[in-house]
Structure formats: structure tokens, C-alpha cells
Structure 1
Amino acid sequence: MSFHTFVEHVRNPYFRGEVDTTTVFAKMLDECSDEGLVKRAQKHLTNLLTAQRELFSIKMYAALEEYVNNDIFLLLSLVADALHNMPQYLTNPNKEELKVELLRFYQLKELILQYISEFAENKNVKIVFEAL
């Protein structure tokens, strides 16, 4: 995967994109209670931290270079950027902002999975992002 391809197909559309409130994800989030939104956000934050911990462990200790490459860290950094505002919305009584952040995250995840399907040299990378 080239950095230029990543920028063109994932990063720029994500940063330019408006939140699409007509998607299946938006309808699913509309049906969630405030508690359900908080649980979803907590789950995604936990999954991101777990994925990072496992990948750093593999990179540092197991040296499985054919499984872990720099592309996965580039994608994880964008996911971390997408989730960085969530902790403040978990405690905010207005859950509409949390809903918007979750929707942005789901749209990013969809972009990443499409990108991996089309451009990734190592398809094992997809397993990490499906779990987020």
C-alpha cells in the first residue's frame, strides 16, 4: 500500500466527509439508548487499545514481520484520531455528540475495510480492523 493511495482513498475522504445520517449505522445508533451509545463507544475504545497492545507486542517480541507491517500502524493511527474525542462524550449528558462521533467512526471503519480489500498486500490486516 502506498501512502498516496491511503491519503486518496481513506484519509482525505474521512477528513473532508460530512456525517451521513441516512446510513444503516445512523439508523442503528438512533435506536440505541444513551447507555447503549456509551457501551458502544467504550467497546470501540477498548478494542483499539487492545489491538495496539497486541500489535506492539507482536512487533517487539515475536518479530512476525510478514504479519505486521507499517501500513497497519498508519491505519490504527487514523482510528485513534477518530476515537480521541469519545472519552469526553462518554461523560457528557448530551449523547447526540457521542452519536455523531460514533457515526464518524463507523464511516471511517467502512472506508478502511474497503481500502484494505482493494489495496492491501497482506489481507490479514483486515482481521484487525473488523474487530474494532
Structure 2
Amino acid sequence: MSFHTFVEHVRNPYLRGEVNHTADFAKMLDECSVEDLVKRAQQHVTNLLTAQRELFSIKMYAAIEEYLNNDIFLLLSLVADALHSMPQHLTNSNKEELKVELLRFYQLKELILNYISEFTENKNVKIVFEGL
């Protein structure tokens, strides 16, 4: 994957901050209670931290070198950016703020998975991001 392609297809659309309130996951989030939104947000933050822990563990070091190169770190850094405000919203349990943050995260995840499907030959990268 080239950095230019990543910027054009994932980073720039995400950073523009355009939130699609008509997407299927937006409708699904509208039906969630505050408790459901909090659980979803907690799970995504936990999944990100778990993925990072696994990738940085000594056990995974050889796999990173051989199979993942630097692509996965670019993508994980953007996911970390997407989730950085989540702990604050979890503490406040503000339904509207959680919905917007989750919606942005789901849209980013969709961009990443589309990008991986189109531009990477490495299926290990897709497996990591489907789990987020």
C-alpha cells in the first residue's frame, strides 16, 4: 500500500469529519439506549487496545516483520485517533456525543475495510481490522 493511496482513500475522507446520518449504522445507533451505546464504545476501545497489545507483544514480533509491514500501524494510528475522545464520552454517558463518535468510528472502519479489500494483498491486515 502506498501512503498517498492511504491518504486519499482513508485519512482525508475521515479527517474531513463528514458524518453520514443516513447510513444503516446511524439508524441502528438511534435505536440504542445510553447503556447500549456505552457498551459498544467500551468494546471498541477494548478491542483497539487488545489489537495493539497483540501486535506489540514479543510473540507477534516475527509475524509483524514478515506479514504486516507498516501498513497496519498506519491504520491502527487512525483508529486510535478515532477513539481518543471515547473515554470522555463514556464518563459523561452523553448519548448524542456517543452516537456521533460511534458513527464516525463505524464510517472509518468501513473506509479501512474497503481500502484493505481494494489495495492490500495481505489478508492478515483485514483479519485484524474486522475484529475492531
Q: What is the TM-score with the length of structure 2 in the denominator?
A: 0.94
- Preserved CA contact (<8 Å) 1:55 1:68: no
Partner of 2:122: 122
Unmatched 5+ stretches in structure 2: none
Determine the C-alpha separation between the residues in 2 that align with 1:61 and 1:120: 20
Partner of 1:101: 101
**Per-residue deviation at 1:67?**
2.2
Identity of aligned residues (%): 85
**Per-residue deviation at 1:62?**
4.1
Determine the C-alpha separation between the residues in 2 that align with 1:34 and 1:68: 37
Determine the C-alpha separation between the residues in 2 that align with 1:128 and 1:94: 29
- Preserved CA contact (<8 Å) 1:10 1:108: yes
**Per-residue deviation at 1:94?**
2.4
When you count helix as a share of all residues, which structure comes out higher?
2
Once the two structures are superposed, the pairs formed by residues 33-44 of structure 1 within 5 Å of their partners are: 33-44=33-44
Determine the C-alpha separation between the residues in 2 that align with 1:95 and 1:29: 10
Superposition RMSD on alpha carbons, in Å?
A: 1.3
Alignment coverage as a number of residue pairs: 131
Partner of 2:54: 54
Unmatched 5+ stretches in structure 1: none
- Preserved CA contact (<8 Å) 1:82 1:105: yes
Determine the C-alpha separation between the residues in 2 that align with 1:105 and 1:61: 26
Determine the C-alpha separation between the residues in 2 that align with 1:16 and 1:10: 10
Determine the C-alpha separation between the residues in 1 that align with 2:33 and 2:52: 29
2:127 partner amino acid: I
**Per-residue deviation at 1:61?**
5.6
